[in-house]
């Protein structure tokens, strides 16, 4: 399945005992249409408030419904903030998480004095102008394979055995009109990593730190030297890439 969802009213993708989740809504819909209890496995978990335009997930099913029929059925019973954009049969060994070779995220910022009711759920609103060129210069220091300890971390702490080494293949700063978008592509990201990068680059754009400081923050491996975690609602999982 390729999925789109508005993460505003979800506690994240993953099932949670006392909170609404994307996984829970999908598994409920699958059961309603097929009468089968199935586990949905995503390419990656998204946190509370984070959106997706191209999340990928798989599940096993014994239904006789054709993929197009199953897709229509699921969309008929899913809530308005989740949709199945595409559904197809896959080889039995396909795994949405393990087979993914890269994920592309976008972090969107509304950069103007006035708020936007239509973008309030999907953009971080910053009133003062941001220096996109300085942010792009700083972003170049984060490309490649590094220990991103300075940009990881979340409420509740970080797992001691989590490997902080990741690779960022692309990190673009795209400015247009009253919006600024950070686009990050890599095989995998630490939890809150993209949001922590966004918060740090925004400080560069605000003139609170020079572009060269980002390389020093990365080398320090110290989360305390990086910027704040950007709000969840600006982040969207745009695409999951697989071998052709």
- What are 86-91's contacts with CB under 8 Å, separation 24+? 86/1, 86/2, 87/1, 87/2, 90/58
**Cα separations (Å) of 148 from 86, 142, 168, 204, 209?**
34, 9, 10, 18, 19
**Cα separations (Å) of 4 from 1, 142, 238?**
10, 28, 9
Query: In sequence order, what are the beta bridge partners of 104?
Result: 185, 239
Q: Residues 18, 47, 95, 131: which is the catalytic one? A: 47
Known catalytic membership, residue 18: no
Is 148:226 a contact under the CB 8 Å cutoff?
Answer: no
Catalytically annotated residues: 47
């Amino acid at each position: 399945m390729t999925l789109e969802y508005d993460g505003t009213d979800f506690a994240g993708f993953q099932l949670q005992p006392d909170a609404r989740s994307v996984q829970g809504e999908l598994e409920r819909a699958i059961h309603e249409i097929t009468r089968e209890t199935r586990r949905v496995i995503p390419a990656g978990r998204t946190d509370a408030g984070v959106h997706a335009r191209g999340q990928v997930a798989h599940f096993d099913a014994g239904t006789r419904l054709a993929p197009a029929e199953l897709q229509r059925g699921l969309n008929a019973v899913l809530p308005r903030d989740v949709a199945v954009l595409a559904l197809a049969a896959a080889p039995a060994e396909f795994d949405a998480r393990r087979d993914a070779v890269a994920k592309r995220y976008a972090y969107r910022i509304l950069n103007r004095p006035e708020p936007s009711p239509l973008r309030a759920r999907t953009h971080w609103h910053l009133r003062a102008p941001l220096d996109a060129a300085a942010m792009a210069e700083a972003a170049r220091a984060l490309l490649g394979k590094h220990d991103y300890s300075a940009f990881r971390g979340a409420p509740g702490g970080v797992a001691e055995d989590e490997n902080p080494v990741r690779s960022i293949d692309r990190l673009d700063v795209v400015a247009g009109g009253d919006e600024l978008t950070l686009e990050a592509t890599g095989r995998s990201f630490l939890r809150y990593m993209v949001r922590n990068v966004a918060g740090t680059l925004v400080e560069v754009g605000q003139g609170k730190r020079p572009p060269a400081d980002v390389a020093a923050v990365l080398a320090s491996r110290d989360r305390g030297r990086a910027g704040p975690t950007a709000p969840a609602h600006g982040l969207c999982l745009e695409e999951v890439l697989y071998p052709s």
